[in-house]
Amino acid sequence: MDGPAPAAAPDRYPLRNSTEREGTRLSMLEGLGDPVTVRWFDRIGVAAGWHCAELGAGAGSLVRWLSERVGDGGSVTAVDRDAGRLRALAGRCPNVTVVEGDLCGMDLPPGRFDLVHTRSVLMHLPCADAVVAKAVAALAPGGVVFFEETDGAPAQAVEDPPPGYGLMVRFATIWRWARGLVPLLESLGMEVVEEDVRADPLVGGTPQAEFWKFTLGSVAQLGRGADASAGGADLDREVAAMTALLDDPDFSAPFTARHRVRARRPA
Ligand SMILES: C[S@@+](CC[C@H](N)C(=O)[O-])C[C@H]1O[C@@H](n2cnc3c(N)ncnc32)[C@H](O)[C@@H]1O
């Protein structure tokens, strides 16, 4: 697997895993997402001896789970642009290999994996189609890709957002990629086994709302860093208004649709 691209891709994902704050946010994400992901891994039949790739592996909870499931005869390749939180895992688990690099510029070994998985990664990448093509080529015959990525279609349809919610709509407007995943996989010769689309509203006072409050805090920090003048103050006001909505158990609004797609490379 090659290292980072000589020319880095445009950065649509400005958060950096190495900060303490981002470590907390990634843990919250794992707490919200892992139970569902693990149920899907079970349904897919991930088993001892499998060779797995976790792309955009973040803080590594799924790498740890896969490492235990596939055992000594299997392997887990964990890839991230910012792999600091994964290295300790590689030290502890002999079947884990960590690769630090930008997925946009990296090659994956052809015909190697029984499973390639992403969660909340491709939706942020300008090169997502190319990464999917590389993931497909990296599958052994009969191997499976499983993508869990978010689309902003429900929020994009909101016509008159309440004060503060415009901020969430702006995030969601960028997320348009996941809806095209099934035709993309079919065009690559994959057999799409299942697509599950869940459009859950964003509801105040829930663990998901807590995650978004924390994320908005990170975004506000970045905004202040980028523009300490007028724009920063506007962003702070929007974040405060949205935080109040997220604290309110009576608040509910359309936000995102989670696309979970699994597809098999014909044997
Ligand atoms: C929202 S986090 C998701 C982390 C993990 N998949 C999870 O669900 O717990 C997105 C991850 O993708 C990584 N990432 C973003 N852009 C990347 C790129 N171009 N190449 C490799 N990794 C990237 C980030 O460093 C981060 O770890």
Instruction: Tell me how far the alpha carbon of residue 133 lies from the centroid of ligand 1, in angstroms.
Output: 18
**pTM recorded for the entire structure:** 0.93
Q: Residue 97 carries which side chain, given as an amino acid letter?
A: T
pLDDT band, very low/low/confident/very high, at 5 (cuts 50, 70, 90): very low
pLDDT reported for residue 105: 96
pLDDT reported for residue 236: 87
For ligand 1, is residue 30 a contact (CB within 6 Å)?
Answer: yes
For ligand 1, is residue 17 a contact (CB within 6 Å)?
Answer: yes
- Element containing residue 116 per DSSP (H, E): strand 113-119
More confident: 244 or 8: 244
Cα distances from 81 to residues 123, 184, 207, in angstroms, run 15, 24, 27
For ligand 1, is residue 60 a contact (CB within 6 Å)?
Answer: no
**Mean pLDDT (whole number) for 69-96:** 96
Mean pLDDT of the residues in the chain: 92
Asked if 264 contacts 144 with a C-beta cutoff of 8 angstroms, the reply is: yes
Ligand 1 pocket test target in 28, 38, 81, 258 with most atoms within 8 Å of CB = 81
For ligand 1, is residue 260 a contact (CB within 6 Å)?
Answer: no
117: nearest Cα among 66, 180, 190: 66
**Can you tell me which atom of ligand 1 is nearest the CA of 16?**
25
pLDDT in tens, 107-152: 999 999 999 999 999 999 999 999 999 999 999 999 999 999 999 9
